[in-house]
A = this chain, B = another copy of it.
Amino acid sequence: MNRLSLNQITTKHWTLPQAVQGCVNAGIPAIGLWRDKVAETGLAESARLVRDAGLTVSSLCRGGFLTATGAGSRQAALAENLRALEEAAELGTDTLVMVVGGLPDGSRDLTGTRARVAELLAELAPHAGDFGVRLAIEPLHPMFCADRAVVSTLAQALDLAEQFPTEQVGVVVDSYHTWWDPQLAQQIARAADRIAAYQVCDWTLPLPPDTLLGRGHVGDGHIDFRTLTHHVTAAGYTGWIEVEIFNEQIWNTPGDQTLRTMIERHHTHVVAP
């Protein structure tokens, strides 16, 4: 339990105060926050609530979306990410999860789009350093390459991150997005202290009509969490294990019940010896 964190998207229908109270009730010591939920409650009030509850904020979701073309869109993306960094700092987390964005509308220029991500990261990284927050690049599953994230593998995320100081840019290891990767073990070892977050949920089939929402509780699908956690731990990561699940059915389950399942699966599948 001492490394377990609730990513609040897992209890999507809870407000931030409800999610904080849910963690306290369940004995979960950390929470990953989402910017829309923080905005709903107010930044200062959100920061106060988690602090007073004694919770650690394991991460803030999310920055990114760096792939639009044109000077105006680029400036807007930078400004938005600076706000996200500022919010992360105020909430007391050292990790801003970055979903980099997909191909711009009508574009087939994957190479150019990926290059643009690198350029904008270069502008953002020093600011992250100033805020004491790390940009955590999240490779998304290749099925989201066109529409959500042109960063598709851990190797690619590391190629980007390694252009910057470790304290400014890291990577997210998310089980759902990376479990299939033949290079996963070696890239996790390579990542070492670049690992800024470890997020878990399971690959379940069939995928639902909205493929974003196909993720299952740890243990309900095809991923070997014991081995994955072993690799992450062997790489030196001792941080939070954040449960992040996008799933309509789980969202419609009472939050307290979801947290009980999370805790049970954490023990039986993630940290079991």
Contacts and interface: CB of A to CB of B under 8 A. Distances in A.
Contact of A155 (B103, B141, B182, B210): B182
Interface stretch (A20-28, A73-81, A93-101, A144-152): A144-152
Contact of A209 (B181, B203, B209): B209
Interface in A178-217: 179-183, 203, 205-207, 209-211
A1 interface: no
A193 to B, nearest CB: 23
B141 A143 contact: yes
A109 interface: yes
Nearest to A224: B108
Interface string A151-167: 01101100100000000
Contact of A143 (B110, B143, B210, B224): B143
A38 interface: no
A223 interface: yes
A183 B142 CA distance: 13
Given A108-B222, A109-B224, A224-B110, A181 B142 contact: yes
A181 B142 CA distance: 8
Most chain B Cβ neighbours within 10 Å, of A141, A153, A182, A211: A182
Interface residues of A, number: 34
B224 A145 contact: no
A223 B108 CA distance: 6
A156 B182 contact: yes
Closest 8 CB pairs of A and B: A145-B180, A108-B224, A142-B180, A146-B222, A156-B182, A143-B143, A142-B142, A152-B180
Given A143-B211, A145-B180, A155-B182, 4 more contacts: A141-B143, A143-B143, A143-B207, A155-B183
Interface of A: 103, 108-111, 114, 141-143, 145-147, 152-153, 155-156, 159, 179-183, 203, 205-207, 209-211, 221-224, 227
8 contacts: A103-B222, A108-B223, A108-B224, A110-B180, A114-B182, A146-B203, A146-B205, A206-B209
